[in-house]
Structure 1
């Protein structure tokens, strides 16, 4: 357990296991602990670096918006701080968006990318879900007191009283429109796109992301010569949702297979 002063923030991180480095990024309102069910499986093959992103877990918030691009710069600075040589960067949900931005903004620092349950266009998310997300803010803090996210935050956060502020920032971030189509099309890092078969965005959206990476456009061929030229891959995990993919052995296995 340690802190790194990077990019203007004191970023908390843990290390587990040994082997080639893997930076593992958690989802919104969570922290590194959420990967508990799969962490040892990943750490059996890799040196897993497990940061808590801005305002989450044991990393205190600072006076700037929550933005996946800024948080990606934090992670890139952590990679430099630790002297890691092109680690794999793996993320889920919010962390999947951050991981993608690390690969887009700092491709020289990333060996391989796994982005799970992270859409690249806001309008790919179902309108009903967007309406639910619009309700997230400080006013919702009272209703979340019985949730695991609230309990964990109160237990580990440097300033537990900041939970309503985190909800406000998460709500503001989710209200922003975004479209990273052009950035994904130019991605220079081999990427595995992962989603549940019942995720926040439809399976067709993740197939669209794969197509931007030259995937699914033709027969791969007996020898694999027709697969995407950049080494990209797509995994749709059966029987899962956005809310349990990160703890599934299937997520760990497809990640390990791709990194191997």
Structure 2
């Protein structure tokens, strides 16, 4: 993105990375408030909001609640979704199965990549080194709690409230992404100007599997 003349800022949201590890409030509204606070603090003027997965969902809700804030929105494997009562149990089980701490970066790359080294490298880069090995820079229970609202309801009203241009990038590989054909069709129906792009051979981690394709799509869209 920088090579196309864009200033790029990456936000560690609450419960992630270098931000507060165990925040009391992990509601969707709290995540949106964090985005607005950063934009305000840094004096950003109508930035493009780009996010993948939960980050994309936060960007979507920010654009809906504050239509004058973003000039554009890019969603990578993210959408309005639908209620999924089993979402949190599935995520919690995935976290519980991980052999943490990882004894080495190579072990982390091999496990987290599932046979795709680029994906493993991407996930491993977010780990922190402690005396006994490599650990995630978040607590699993906090991540599970942050999905409370996504498990309970869909966000179609918020999707319909967005006024800025939107690019939706979807995984289209053997493992598939999380945005199905029916969900995308409804997204397009509610927003006829929606620009969509599928990235063949990728799943939910499109940004790690084919970063060069995503870069080209986003650069062209913002241009």
Same fold, judged at TM 0.5 (above)? yes
Which residue pairs with 1:206 in the alignment? 184
C-alpha distance in 2, partners of 1:244/1:111?
23
Alignment pair present for 1:43 and 2:2: yes
C-alpha distance in 1, partners of 2:84/2:200?
20
Higher strand share: 1
Q: Structure 2 vs 1, CA of residues 121 and 244 (structure 1 numbering), >3 Å: closer, same or farther?
A: closer
Which residue pairs with 1:191 in the alignment? 166
Q: Structure 2 vs 1, CA of residues 155 and 161 (structure 1 numbering), >3 Å: closer, same or farther?
A: closer
* Number of residue pairs aligned between Structure 1 and Structure 2: 195
Q: Structure 2 vs 1, CA of residues 162 and 91 (structure 1 numbering), >3 Å: closer, same or farther?
A: closer
Greater relative contact order structure (CA < 8 Å, 6+ sep): 2
Alignment pair present for 1:170 and 2:155: no
Alignment pair present for 1:236 and 2:209: no
Alignment pair present for 1:99 and 2:73: no
Aligned counterpart for 2:91 among listed residues 120, 127, 133: 133
Aligned counterpart for 2:26 among listed residues 42, 58, 66: 66
C-alpha distance in 2, partners of 1:75/1:99?
8
| Alpha-carbon displacement from aligned partner over 1:150-205 (angstroms, at most 9, x marks no partner) | 7733249xxx9896x72002122335312111111121121111111120232332
SS class of match (1:113): strand
C-alpha distance in 2, partners of 1:132/1:63?
22
SS class of match (2:126): helix
Indicate the RMSD between aligned Cα atoms, in angstroms.
2.9
Structure 2 contact 13–31 (Cα < 8 Å) conserved: yes
Question: Is the deviation greater in 52-61 or in 108-117?
Answer: 52-61
Which residue pairs with 2:99 in the alignment? 143
C-alpha distance in 1, partners of 2:146/2:82?
11
Q: TM-score, normalised by structure 2?
A: 0.75
C-alpha distance in 1, partners of 2:153/2:55?
16
Structure 1 contact 96–117 (Cα < 8 Å) conserved: yes
SS class of match (1:96): helix
C-alpha distance in 2, partners of 1:124/1:203?
17
Structure 1 contact 136–168 (Cα < 8 Å) conserved: no
Deviation for aligned residue 1:211: 1.8
Deviation for aligned residue 1:83: 0.8
Structure 2 contact 199–206 (Cα < 8 Å) conserved: no
Structure 2 contact 22–139 (Cα < 8 Å) conserved: no
- Tell me which stretches of 4 or more aligned residues in structure 1 moved more than 4 Å: 148-151, 160-163
